Amino acid sequence: MLKLAVIGAGSWGTALAYRLAKNNYRIGLWVHNPNLAKIIDQTHENPSYLPKVSLPANIQASSSLDKVLSDSQYCILVVPCQFLRGVAESLVPCLAPKTSILTASKGIENTTLLRPTQILSDVIPKNLGCQTAVLSGPTFAKEVAAGLPSAAVVASEHLDTAKKFQKLLTAPGFRLYVNTDVIGTEIGGALKNVIAIAAGVSDGLGFGLNARAALITRGLAEITRLGLSLGANPLTFQGLSGLGDLVLTCTGDLSRNRRVGLKLGKGNYTLTEIQQGMQMVAEGVPTARAAKELAAKQKIPMPITEQVYSLLFEGKNPRSAVQELMGRELTSE
């Protein structure tokens, strides 16, 4: 059996390990918490992040990167973007030459404004000959693990690498597409979380479906503007990693970022209280900071993102943020 390494045992990492194991691969699943690794190995369940899903016996969980990566030519990184650099640095000594690496992280690194594949390029020595790809799209972990119909995209500058992961990941109920627009795929996956916070705020304020639809549409416009300034293909933002992921994250009740916005809009919680009550990371929070800086660097107007930043980090009143967005100077679409 072919062995694949999945680095990260949150809900999405565990769901991907589950789907891959169902394809009859041996899966080494790296778990940051040694105690959780033992529980997963002994009970074949991840009670912390994907409870009530029975994991196949061909998933072996471990807190040892060396053990997980041993004998594997494929590595899938599923860790929060702000921790990706540290984890990548730790796994470099364990990587075999020419390992194919797929990142499923969505975000922009705050300290460098780099995308996930750029972080990997920064960390992994060129002489190892590793090629990278990114997985993105409208995929809630719980639904993928349940085998409900889902679709996503694998992007890589090397189309052969994208097609390798497409073949590995495709399963009944899980359809994969490929493209070579890494920039657009990563920007769409990162920025949709910021817009989802805005949509949650709007829903929390009780502003209705018109407001939500407007936020999704204008949010896509600013995501596209930023992506194009960085060299992305405009068609990418009409696809699964753009419009598809944006719609899901802005409307789905399983969206962590939408839930953050809902609580902010209702005004019952501070951001600190919201984050303390969440077991998993809402990537839109740190991404809002990085996106605001990146937009300023690229001289791209992103009014929704700027208001989300002010809500999260400057204590702005949600109603004031909406009033400012609605009162902006009139312009063409």
Neighbouring residues of 48: CB distance < 8 A, sequence distance ≥ 6: 36, 279
Could you tell me whether strands 174-179 and 150-155 are parallel, antiparallel, or unpaired per DSSP bridges?
Answer: parallel
Residue position matching structure tokens 């009550």? 277
Please give the backbone phi and psi of residue 179, each rounded to the nearest 5 degrees, phi first: -155, 175
Instruction: Report how far apart, in Å, the C-alpha atoms of 326 and of each of 98, 198, 211, 302, 312 are.
Output: 51, 14, 10, 14, 19
Is 8:77 a contact under the CB 8 Å cutoff? yes
Is residue 192 flagged as an active site residue? yes
Q: State how far the Cα of 151 lies from the Cα of 184, in Å rounded to an integer.
A: 17
Catalytic residue among 106, 164, 192, 263: 192
Taking Cα atoms as reference points, which of 18, 22, 26 lies closest to residue 55? Answer: 18
Q: State how far the Cα of 10 lies from the Cα of 37, in Å rounded to an integer.
A: 12
Neighbouring residues of 327: CB distance < 8 A, sequence distance ≥ 6: none
Q: Could you say which DSSP state residue 47 is in? A: T
Catalytic (active-site) positions: 192
